[in-house]
Chain A
Amino acid sequence: MTQNAVASPASSMLGSLFNLRGSSDAADIANMTGRKALWLRIAMAVAMFSISLENNHDVGAIFNVGTRPLALFEGQETFVILLACCMCLHPKYTRMSIAVFAVTLIPYAPNFLGLANHQILGFWCILPALLVKDWVSSRSYATYLRVTFGMVMLAAFAQKLVAGTYIDGSYLQFLVTNSTKTTARWFEFVCSSGPAAPCLPIVVASNFILFWQAIVGVFLIIGWKNIGVLIIEIAFLIGAGVFADEFNFQVLNIALLAIVFRTGVPIIGAVILVIVTIADLWGLGAIGTQVALILRGAG
């Protein structure tokens, strides 16, 4: 399946970040070597990293090791996952890294469905890479990831459709006017009608979200890997991440989509995604508030 290059400035930026233009087609999937293979391994390492900090909500406990040395070992799986991330980058150890990553699931396996959703999705998507000899060049694994993502998108669409809260825009309105997330409230200006009823822009945005999920789900399942769709999807994920002030899920999605689309993630992209994942420990809203306070103090 060939992929279309998109020439707009935005796509050009994303293109260089995620190697969109250099993406592969089905013909070379079985012969994945060199830089492209490295970028695919980086994508997998980023996907694993996005899960590593899930059980370390107490940021102070991680970094304030001077007063509490043992705090460093709370949530030990972080360090095992970091080891797996490093191993994943080397072609020789990339398969073993998945096994190391699998070890971190053991304590949580009895309550697998009670885990954070991006942990569930991460384990469900990453661990099956062990089933093939070389996941980097495996067409079966890429297809598995693609269909899994398509199913998740369609499932999310079905849930929203059944709840009816996106057709009438009521849930987005709730988020904008009632959410405790600072970033959701950044969008209050969109609607001047107040908290009572969703205004037209909210209803339109809400319906776009709903049907976009369905469209992407269908595209992924039928295997139409258009680069334009990937760019819109990444923009959509970033927008959702800002809105909900939750980025670790988006980082996981972006990294795994980079494997699905065979683009991989280059080093600069990985650095950005890692920074975003770490910043997510505090949240964009809290960081924005701190920056505003500092700027106000400086002013």
Chain B
Amino acid sequence: MFNFIKRPRGFGAWAFVILLALHSLWVLNHLRLHAERSINPWKGGGYGMYTIPAPKQDWIVHSSASAEMRPSAANRKKRASTGFLLEHHVLANKNRWRRCAHLSHSSMAGFVQANRKILEPYIIVRAVESVFDPSTRKHPRKQIGRVKLEVRDGYIYYVSRMCGEEKSGRTPLKSLKELEG
């Protein structure tokens, strides 16, 4: 039944045993993270898919120029065609699996580059989550985080607050080419 586990022979068999051990550890960790509500259970391997209605996380951009604006679909498509982190981490947020993770420096840099026109003098991005409420049968939107971004002297200064945890710092402002490279 588990011949290669009982008597692993050769590099391949040992590697399979190690991969299975790592996988089982990840499965247990995923269950723990789901219980702690720190991940989207639909992501990270799919064990929690179709277990609860998929929580949808989105980002809403506020700037001094407009009360509330979201990057247009055309903009999102343009970003996607560059194969660039922004699409995945910030706008569509398709690949974000850690609910409360702070934005990475590359995501912030990409976001700033793609939204320079609305970045005057600073920008606030709100992370919101919609989860199905069975009693009202609606998907109410709840804010779970907020990031303030400001560009000064070739740097992006940020103050990020996600699920109550605050983090601040700065990251160099990179060009689109540098980000893609």
A interface residues with partner B (beta carbon < 8 Å): 58, 74, 107, 111, 113-115, 117-118, 120-121, 124, 128, 131-133, 138-141, 143-144, 147-148, 151-152, 154-156, 158-160, 162-163, 165-166, 170-171, 174-175, 178, 195, 222-223, 244, 249
Interface residues of chain B, those whose CB is within 8 Å of chain A, are: 1-5, 8, 10-13, 15-16, 19-20, 23-24, 27, 30-31, 34-35, 41-53, 77, 80-81, 83, 88-89, 95-97, 132, 134, 137
Residue pair B52, A147 in contact (C-beta under 8 Å): no
Contacting pair B43 A113 (CB below 8 A): yes
Q: Do residues B51 and A121 form an inter-chain contact, with CB atoms below 8 A?
A: no
Task: Assess A115 versus B48: contact at CB under 8 Å? Given A143-B16, A174-B134.
Answer: no
Residues of A within 8 A of B27 (CB): 151-152, 154-155
**Do the beta carbons of B23 and A174 come within 8 Å of each other?**
no
Smallest Cβ-Cβ distance to B2: which chain A residue: A143
> In angstroms, how far is the closest chain B Cβ from the Cβ of A76?
9
- Contact call B96/A114, Cβ cutoff below 8 A: yes
Q: Smallest CB–CB gap between B41 and chain A, Å?
A: 6
Residues of chain B contacted by A152 (CB below 8 angstroms): 27, 45-47
Query: Are A171 and B11 closer than 8 Å at their CB atoms?
Result: no
Q: Is the CB of A114 within 8 A of B20?
A: no
Q: Is there contact, CB below 8 Å, between A148 and B1?
A: no
Distance in Å: Cβ of A46 to nearest Cβ of chain B: 19
A175: chain B residues within 8 A (beta carbon): 50
Check if A117 sits within 8 Å of B1, measured CB to CB.
no
- Closest approach, in angstroms, between the C-beta of B110 and any C-beta of chain A? 13
Q: Given B3, B5, B41, which contacts A159 in the complex, CB threshold below 8 Å?
A: B41
Scoring B1, B24, B46, B132 by chain A CB atoms within 10 A of each residue's CB, the highest score goes to B46
Determine the distance from Cα of A148 to Cα of B1 in the docked complex, in whole angstroms: 14
- Given A159-B48, A165-B52: A114 and B31 interface contact (C-beta under 8 Å): no
Once A and B bind, how many residue pairs between them come within 8 Å at the CB atom?
A: 122
Q: Tell whether, in the assembled complex, residue A158 and residue B31 are in contact, meaning their CB atoms are under 8 Å apart.
A: yes
Asked if B1 contacts A140 (CB within 8 A), the reply is: no
Contact among A74, A156, A158, A223 for B1, CB-based, below 8 A: A223
Measured in the bound complex, the distance between the Cα atoms of B51 and A113 in whole Å is: 18
24 A-B residue pairings within 8 Å (CB atoms) = A114-B95, A115-B95, A117-B49, A120-B44, A121-B45, A128-B16, A131-B15, A138-B12, A143-B16, A151-B20, A151-B24, A151-B27, A155-B31, A156-B46, A156-B48, A156-B49, A159-B41, A159-B51, A163-B48, A171-B50, A171-B53, A174-B53, A174-B132, A178-B137
State the CA gap A114–B93 with chains docked (Å). 10
Complex Cα spacing A123 to B49, Å: 18
**A171 adjacent to B52 (CB under 8 Å):** yes
Residues of A within 8 A of B95 (CB): 111, 114-115
Judge whether B23 and A113 touch: CB under 8 Å. no
